[in-house]
C-alpha cells in the first residue's frame, strides 16, 4: 500500500466498493492513490463479495415494488461550499478577483488623475536635473514672486499659493517647455524644494481651461509634487521624497 496520510487512510477504509458511489473528491483522490495496491484490491473484493451475498437476500415482492432509492431520495443539491471547493470554480473565482482588483486599481488611478498631470510629471524630471546656477538669484519670500513673473515675464496669475508663500527663495526663472508653454520655476531654501507655475491644460476642441479642485499628488522617480490649479495656472511644489514631506504644508493651510 502506498504511503497515505491518516485522512487518506480513513477515506480508503470507508470508500464504497462501487466507484459510482464515490462523490467526494478527497475520497476519489485517496482511492486513486491506492488503486493498484494489493491490500486495497483485497478489501474491495471482500466488500463486493459481501455485497453480492447481501443482494441475494430474498425480498418479498410487496417490498421490491417500492424499493428503489430513486423513489424516496431527491437528487442531492450542490451547496455553495461544495461549489467553491471545485478547482474550476475556484480558478474562475480567483481570476475574477484578480481582474476586479486590476479594474479597481485602474479606477482609483483614474480618479486620482487630473488635467495637467503629464506636464507635472515632466516638470518633476526637470526638478530632478535642475541646477541652482541656472536660476536668477532672487532672495525673497515666494509669495512676492507673482509680481516678479508678471512684471518681468508678463505672466499673469503666476502666484504662489498662501500655503507656500512664506518660504524663502534662492532664485527663479521663466522658460519655455517642449510644448512652448511658459513655465515659472522657483528654488526654495527649505528642503531644496522647487516650485513650478505653468498654464493649466486646455480642452483641445474648445480651448476651455480644464479646472480641478484641491491639491493633487503626483510622483516620478523619487520626486513628489503637489499640484493645484487657480485662474488657469497650475502651481506645483516639488520635493525629493514622498507625500509625507509635502503634506504638512497643505495641512497647515486647512487648519
Measured from the CB of residue 8, what is the shortest distance to other proteins in angstroms? 11
Nearer to other proteins, 3 or 69 (CB): 69
Which CB atom, from 22 or from 170, has the smaller least distance to other proteins?
A: 22
Residue closer to other proteins (CB basis): 76 or 248: 76
Q: Mapped to the 3 state alphabet, what secondary structure does the chain carry? A: CCCCCHHHHHHHHCCCCCHHHCCCHHHHHHHHHHCCCHHHHHHHHHHHHHHHHHHCCCCCHHHHCCCCHHHHCCCCCCCHHHHHHCHHHHHHHHHHHHHHHHHHHHHHHHHHCCCCHHHHHHHHHHHHHCCHHHCEECCCEHHHHHHHHHHHHCCCCCCCCHHHCCCEEEEEEEEECCCCCEEEEEEECHHHCEEEEEECCECCCCCCECCCCCCEEEEECCEEEEEEEECCEEEEEEEECCHHHHHHHHHHHHC
Min. distance of Cβ 44 from other proteins in angstroms?
Answer: 10
Residue 87's CB is within 10 A of a number of other CB atoms, namely 8
CA 246 vs. chain centroid, Å, equals 24
Task: Tell me which residues touch other proteins (CB under 8 A).
Answer: 9-11, 13-18, 21-24, 27, 38-39, 42-43, 45-58, 60, 63, 66, 69, 72-74, 76
Give the nearest distance from C-beta 93 to other proteins in angstroms.
23
Least distance to other proteins from the beta carbon of 90, Å? Answer: 20
The residue among 79 and 206 lying less far from other proteins, judged by its C-beta, is 79
Of the pair 39, 141, the CB lying nearest other proteins is at 39
Between 42 and 106, whose beta carbon lies closer to other proteins? 42
> What nine digits make up the cell of 187?
528654488
Instruction: Tell the smallest beta-carbon distance from residue 39 to other proteins (Å).
Output: 8
193/164 Cα distance (integer angstroms): 10
End-to-end CA distance of the chain: 75
Q: Shortest approach of other proteins to residue 40 CB, angstroms? A: 10
Instruction: For the CB of residue 34, give the shortest distance to other proteins in the complex, in Å.
Output: 14
* Phi, psi torsion values for 72, nearest 5 degrees: -105, -15
Residue among 73 and 133 whose Cβ is closer to other proteins: 73
Amino acid at each position: 500500500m502506498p504511503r497515505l496520510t491518516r485522512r487518506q487512510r480513513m477515506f480508503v477504509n470507508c470508500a464504497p466498493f462501487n466507484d459510482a458511489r464515490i462523490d467526494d473528491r478527497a475520497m476519489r483522490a485517496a482511492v486513486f492513490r491506492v488503486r493498484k495496491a494489493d491490500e486495497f484490491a483485497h478489501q474491495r473484493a471482500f466488500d463486493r463479495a459481501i455485497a453480492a451475498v447481501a443482494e441475494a437476500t430474498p425480498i418479498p415482492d410487496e417490498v421490491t415494488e417500492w424499493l428503489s432509492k430513486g423513489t424516496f431520495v431527491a437528487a442531492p443539491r450542490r451547496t455553495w461550499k461544495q461549489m467553491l471547493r471545485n478547482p474550476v470554480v475556484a480558478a474562475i473565482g480567483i481570476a475574477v478577483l484578480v481582474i476586479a482588483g486590476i479594474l479597481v486599481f485602474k479606477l482609483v488611478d483614474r480618479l486620482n488623475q487630473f488635467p495637467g498631470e503629464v506636464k507635472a510629471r515632466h516638470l518633476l524630471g526637470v526638478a530632478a536635473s535642475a541646477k541652482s546656477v541656472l536660476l536668477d538669484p532672487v532672495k525673497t519670500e515666494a509669495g512676492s514672486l507673482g509680481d516678479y513673473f508678471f512684471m518681468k515675464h508678463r505672466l499673469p496669475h503666476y502666484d504662489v499659493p498662501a500655503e507656500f508663500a512664506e518660504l524663502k527663495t534662492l532664485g527663479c526663472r521663466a522658460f519655455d517647455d517642449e510644448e512652448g508653454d511658459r513655465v515659472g520655476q522657483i528654488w526654495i531654501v527649505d528642503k531644496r524644494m522647487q516650485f513650478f507655475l505653468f498654464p493649466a491644460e486646455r480642452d483641445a476642441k474648445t480651448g476651455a481651461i480644464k479646472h480641478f479642485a484641491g491639491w493633487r499628488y503626483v510622483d516620478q522617480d523619487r520626486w513628489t509634487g503637489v499640484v493645484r490649479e487657480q485662474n488657469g495656472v497650475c502651481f506645483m511644489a516639488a520635493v525629493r521624497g514622498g507625500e509625507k514631506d509635502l503634506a504638512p504644508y497643505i495641512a497647515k493651510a486647512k487648519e
